[in-house]
């Protein structure tokens, strides 16, 4: 089974061409391929599939083998993968679990990905909850470098009000009028990732609070820098949301198609 490895600001993925529709992977196989000791190693796995009316369909799985919601860094990486396969040129229109997305590959290699509109932003005293294609909890902190992202993120992700699916958790430090530092605990990976596309999108929108207008925010993650642009006509919604950043091919290889029973505990 041939695979391709991509990364977007350190958020890494296994990409498989399933246009023929003959790949039927088990949860154990996906988790095994994503395992960083027994497999290729990745934060997630994506299938590129054919679908009527679009250039392709993006099917995304977490590293634990569970099918997931939208992944922003993954959306940029699968766009680059589609270009490598010759499925698209420099523009894509594809279908993901949260609906239609469009993307543009720029000359410098960065990719602009149009995300879903955001509605019903929930502002609380100490945190904000919103869905940017995946559900996110955003907490603003004074010193994000010294936050115990795993322990604090794990506790919030497993709070009763967010079950059974859980929630992604972002710790955000504001460093300038249009700059943020963001670290994210991702459900499904069950650990901190070097970057989360839907997470930085959530952080950028949450940072504007109850204001309205047109915004462009630069976000630094442990894996690199991303930009998010969006428009807020109301304090609790955002539209024209675009995630901008790199998507890089790392390597290709072959993996033995077998069930791998691995304890992730």
Residues flagged as binding site for substrate: 11, 62, 72-73, 168, 186-187, 197-198
* Backbone phi, psi, residue 40, to 5°: -70, -45
Q: Of 130, 196, 202, 244, which is the active-site residue? A: 196
59, 35 contact by CB (below 8 A): no
Q: Of 47, 71, 189, 238, which is the active-site residue? A: 71
SS3 238: strand
- C-alpha separations of 254 from 1, 25, 44, 119, 157 in Å: 5, 15, 17, 42, 35
Instruction: Give the C-alpha separation, 173 to 203, whole Å.
Output: 10
Residue 71 annotated as catalytic: yes
Helix-then-strand count for the chain, H and E: 4, 17
SS3 249: strand
SS3 181: strand
Instruction: Give the C-alpha separation, 150 to 73, whole Å.
Output: 20
String of b and e for 117-150 (b: at least 16 CB within 10 Å)? ebeebeeeeebbbbbbbbbbbbbbeeebeebebe
Annotated binding-site members: 11, 62, 72-73, 168, 186-187, 197-198
233, 99 contact by CB (below 8 A): no
Element (H, E) at 251: strand 248-254
CB half-sphere exposure, 183, CA atoms < 13 A: 18
Active site residues: 71, 196
């Amino acid at each position: 089974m041939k695979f391709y490895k991509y990364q977007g600001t350190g958020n890494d993925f296994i990409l498989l061409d399933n246009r023929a529709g003959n790949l039927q992977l088990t949860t154990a196989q996906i988790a095994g391929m994503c395992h960083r000791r027994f497999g290729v190693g990745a934060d997630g796995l994506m299938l590129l599939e054919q679908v009527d009316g679009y250039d392709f369909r993006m099917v995304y799985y977490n590293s634990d083998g569970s099918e997931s919601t939208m992944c922003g860094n993954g959306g940029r990486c699968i766009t680059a993968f589609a270009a490598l396969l010759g499925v698209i040129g420099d523009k894509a229109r594809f279908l993901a679990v949260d609906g239609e997305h469009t993307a543009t590959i720029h000359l410098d290699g960065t990719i602009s990905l149009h995300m879903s509109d955001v509605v019903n932003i929930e502002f609380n005293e100490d945190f904000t909850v919103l869905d940017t294609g995946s559900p996110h909890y955003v907490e603003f902190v004074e010193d994000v470098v010294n936050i115990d992202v795993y322990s604090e993120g794990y506790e919030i992700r497993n709070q009763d009000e967010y079950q059974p699916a859980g929630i992604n958790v972002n710790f955000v430090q504001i460093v300038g009028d249009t700059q943020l530092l963001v670290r994210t605990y991702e459900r499904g990976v069950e650990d901190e990732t070097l970057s989360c596309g839907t997470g930085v999108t959530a952080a950028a929108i949450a940072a504007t609070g109850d204001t309205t207008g047109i915004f462009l925010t630069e976000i630094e993650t442990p894996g690199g820098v991303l930009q998010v642009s969006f428009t807020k006509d109301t304090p609790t919604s955002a539209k024209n949301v675009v995630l901008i950043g790199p998507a890089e091919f790392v390597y290709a290889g072959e993996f033995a198609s077998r069930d791998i029973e691995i304890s992730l505990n």
